[in-house]
């Protein structure tokens, strides 16, 4: 396994684009959990430059990694939700399941 090496003069990738995509796609995840994770990822990615400029390279790298992990989890939740929907026969079948669930309560 390779370890990432960063020199003290290079700014770590903040993964802001991935975080924004995750937040937008997170709207389609169950209970908008992906949206919440995407927003947290955006906040973490925005902290990378500030922490780097203050000389906290390890914290900047940590924020960048955490932002990427949260973004990937948010996108993964969307993929799992799509698989779930398709396994039940699409959105119409999913809505029928929800209606039946509401009538039984």
Percent of the chain with pLDDT over 70: 89
Q: What is the pLDDT of residues 75-90, one digit of tens each?
A: 999 898 888 888 877 7
Terminal-residue alpha carbon distance, the chain: 52
CA angle (54, 57, 62) in 5-degree steps:
120
pLDDT at 14 over 50: yes
pLDDT at residue 1 in the model: 46
Q: What is the DSSP letter of 54?
A: T
- Give the distance from CA 10 to its chain's centroid: 25
8 A C-beta contact, residue 53 and residue 8: no
- pLDDT tens per residue across span 35-53: 999 999 999 999 999 999 9
Half-sphere exposure of 28 (CA within 13 A, CB side): 15
Please state the rounded mean pLDDT for residues 97-105: 71
């Amino acid at each position: 396994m390779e370890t990432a090496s960063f020199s003290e003069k290079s700014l770590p990738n903040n993964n802001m684009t991935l975080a924004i995509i995750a937040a937008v796609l997170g709207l389609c995840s169950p209970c908008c959990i992906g949206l919440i994770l995407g927003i947290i990822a955006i906040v973490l990615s925005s902290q990378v430059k500030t922490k780097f400029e203050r000389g906290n390279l390890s914290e900047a790298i940590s924020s960048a990694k955490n932002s990427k992990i949260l973004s990937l989890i948010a996108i993964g939740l969307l993929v799992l939700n799509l698989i779930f929907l398709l396994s039940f026969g699409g959105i119409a079948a999913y809505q029928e399941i929800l209606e039946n669930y509401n009538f039984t309560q």
